[in-house]
Structure 1
């Protein structure tokens, strides 16, 4: 049975810190009386440490109640008595210490919840543009490439400038700053795309929570006119119409050939002083684009399993095409030679244009679909507004054609050039469209019922184009050879 213990001085005396320290572990479960309603239960931990749990006993509404005052030695005896005195004062004032304790907990919790709510409100008000973009990419837009190009564009041109800025603080001046940075590079078409994407982003956000509430000053893109930021007379949405002339195609071949010859002729140990020629794979990609009318991105994603070098066919799966319609290219002898030369370089991989891989590893993907365009652009820097060379990139005008009089050219221009050459050879416009895998015009009924694949006609059209390119380039090579021999 539990025993009530008193200080050595006897009942009515008060315990001291030294007296508590002297309590033996054998008093486990006993009570010590400290007077004025304060009693403590002796507890002994497994390692023999003695502690005392103090409570203040009082009457409340006719029943006995106890109020916890603290555990010694974690709480000093003086603090325990002070808590007893506070509880006793509450009882005398007509308040229950237990109710007061519960009320204090409720008030403390309410204070915490209010603080968290205020923090959440402040955080919501300070949501950055990056968070709005992420929400839009996740729920508001779905493009054919799974938004990869859209995200790349924002990461390059938008987020570095205003990505961390709260949506509520984004102003028309911020939008203009983003667009001017793109325009200053001379990439007017890209500026138009970025502007259109920003308009779409803010229009989506303007209709939804929590973004709608953050645009207290309105949609900033509605106050920006792209035309007023562009050079006078510039139409960024005008379609390119650059077509390489026969002389330019010959000039391109000469430049590529001469660069390779100069590099190969450089003595060992001096090659670092000679410009490296354009990668052979890139050169072949250019001639394949010209002779097949394919898009450069479709070509760079090609896999060898889809190229039939024996039958002279290249199948382009729907997921690799802009139109999301698969198509088959019937390779002319000229185009087939390019693919065979490419196979000698990359045929031991799954991809026609494999990405770089560590030594001994198999390439896990194709090269970036922009890689060839970058290589061509880096060799026509007179048309670019660059402060200087980009890291690990070329910076010259070695592939500028016609001394730049006709402007810059791109790999996509070769697709247009090949189509124009087909037109000159008498191929019908409808058949040229089919050779380019364009979405064919006409009613849905016609597209549903007319399924002739025009394989023979397309094969003949591509063959004519290949013959024309062979004559154009091969004949010129013969002239150069005869001139050198003379």
Structure 2
């Protein structure tokens, strides 16, 4: 049992002695140790003497690097303070776990972690509907992997394989978070497989299908704001969630730009979307409609371009594909193979390449992480934003889209490498 003043550097590189599980005890906080396994797992433990019977005990504090050295010392000091007053932290932890239910865990996870994420509302909806409503009354101390499997199976059985996969990812993140905090002793999802294998979609709309869609949208059974979101998916090539959550302060109609902030962009980088005239018109029409509605109902103008009813939040990203799904009749939408809002993004990208726009520029238009953060050079040193090239690409695509809708002419590809 080596004893050393632990440092972050040591914790990062520590290896087990002679290939066996090794405890490295800290000289700063008595009893705190970093347990390193041959497989490379690093876990914090506090070894102490139980006040009741004088026996040695070991309490898990979480894994490194999820819990950093400074936090591990803080947790160990707090526990030792209680031990000095006659408390037994393991017994207290078990009592706390025995009192907590799965619903308590879900609510705690949402409030302390999931709510900080861009998709927090969707995560909360999935966990409450599929976990809390199914096994919410089970005590954490009694929670078993079969209970989690039951939740996943219920989603699969109702014919929602994609939802089942998303729930599995949410559940796995929640369980890992709970284990890191000490709410759960074991990672109950360790070794579990994704419930379904999903194929990457390759659906995109042909020119004829684009024309059919565009001309059919005005009569589609959905809100006008949803129609505008779908049009923007096709015109801009951006993600439906980013469009649905668009705020007024992100838009500069005079400059014809939409700046998606880093905290709303999927790849975590601010993304400037040049707006072609058709996109500017869609956004202006939507803003004017919201202004008029706010005046009629004597409400404050909301911050969102696409507010939900009541103006208390933006429309959710999930509401748009649901609206599209409701249009499906006998396996078709507008008489063609079913499509999703994300397929419109793929459609824009495909047709931009078809008219000769470089895949590299298309990647920047889409804000794909493989292009914008592919290397240390692009992440740190190369700061050029390709705004001019993105504007040229999107205006060329808007021109081509107008031609498709009006039935004008054939595709005339640009010289490869242009834009």
Q: What TM-score does the superposition give when structure 1 sets the normalisation length?
A: 0.56
* Contact 1:179-1:195 at 8 Å conserved across structures: yes
* Contact 1:334-1:470 at 8 Å conserved across structures: no
Moved more, 136-145 or 422-431: 136-145
1:416-427 to 2 correspondences below 5 Å? 416-427=346-357
Q: CA separation in 1, counterparts of 2:114 and 2:246?
A: 27
1:437-448 to 2 correspondences below 5 Å? 437-439=367-369, 440-448=372-380
Unpaired segments ≥5 residues, structure 1:
1-117, 261-276, 358-362, 384-396, 477-486
Q: Which residue of 2 aligns with 1:149?
A: 122
Q: Which residue of 2 aligns with 1:461?
A: 393
Q: CA separation in 2, counterparts of 1:347 and 1:324?
A: 31
Matched, 1:367 2:315: yes
Measured on the aligned residues, the alpha-carbon RMSD in Å equals: 3.3
Alignment CA distance shift 1:382-1:435 (3 Å): same
Q: CA separation in 2, counterparts of 1:210 and 1:329?
A: 43
* Contact 1:172-1:223 at 8 Å conserved across structures: no
Q: Which residue of 1 aligns with 2:280?
A: 336
Q: Which residue of 2 aligns with 1:73?
A: none
Post-superposition offset of 1:470: 0.2
Post-superposition offset of 1:292: 0.7
- What whole-Å deviation, never above 9, does each CA across 1:12-67 have from its counterpart, x for those lacking one? xxxxxxxxxxxxxxxxxxxxxxxxxxxxxxxxxxxxxxxxxxxxxxxxxxxxxxxx
Match of 1:251 among 184, 204, 212: 212
Post-superposition offset of 1:436: 1.1
Q: Which residue of 1 aligns with 2:48?
A: none
Q: Secondary structure at the match of 2:394?
A: helix
* Contact 1:175-1:224 at 8 Å conserved across structures: no
Q: Secondary structure at the match of 1:242?
A: coil
Q: Which residue of 1 aligns with 2:405?
A: 473
- What whole-Å deviation, never above 9, does each CA across 1:336-392 have from its counterpart, x for those lacking one? 3322332342245343212223xxxxx343222322222112222766xxxxxxxxx
Alignment CA distance shift 1:121-1:205 (3 Å): closer
* Contact 2:216-2:334 at 8 Å conserved across structures: no
Number of residue equivalences: 310
Q: CA separation in 2, counterparts of 1:123 and 1:292?
A: 51
Q: Which residue of 1 aligns with 2:133?
A: 160
Q: CA separation in 2, counterparts of 1:123 and 1:311?
A: 57
Post-superposition offset of 1:422: 0.6
* Contact 2:97-2:141 at 8 Å conserved across structures: no
Post-superposition offset of 1:226: 4.1
Q: CA separation in 2, counterparts of 1:309 and 1:191?
A: 40
Match of 2:327 among 364, 374, 379: 379
Q: CA separation in 1, counterparts of 2:200 and 2:178?
A: 30
Alignment CA distance shift 1:202-1:443 (3 Å): closer
1:126-141 to 2 correspondences below 5 Å? 126-137=99-110
* Contact 2:106-2:132 at 8 Å conserved across structures: no
Alignment CA distance shift 1:307-1:226 (3 Å): closer
* Contact 1:312-1:336 at 8 Å conserved across structures: yes
Q: CA separation in 2, counterparts of 1:209 and 1:305?
A: 41
Q: Secondary structure at the match of 1:356?
A: coil
Q: Secondary structure at the match of 1:329?
A: strand
Post-superposition offset of 1:169: 2.8
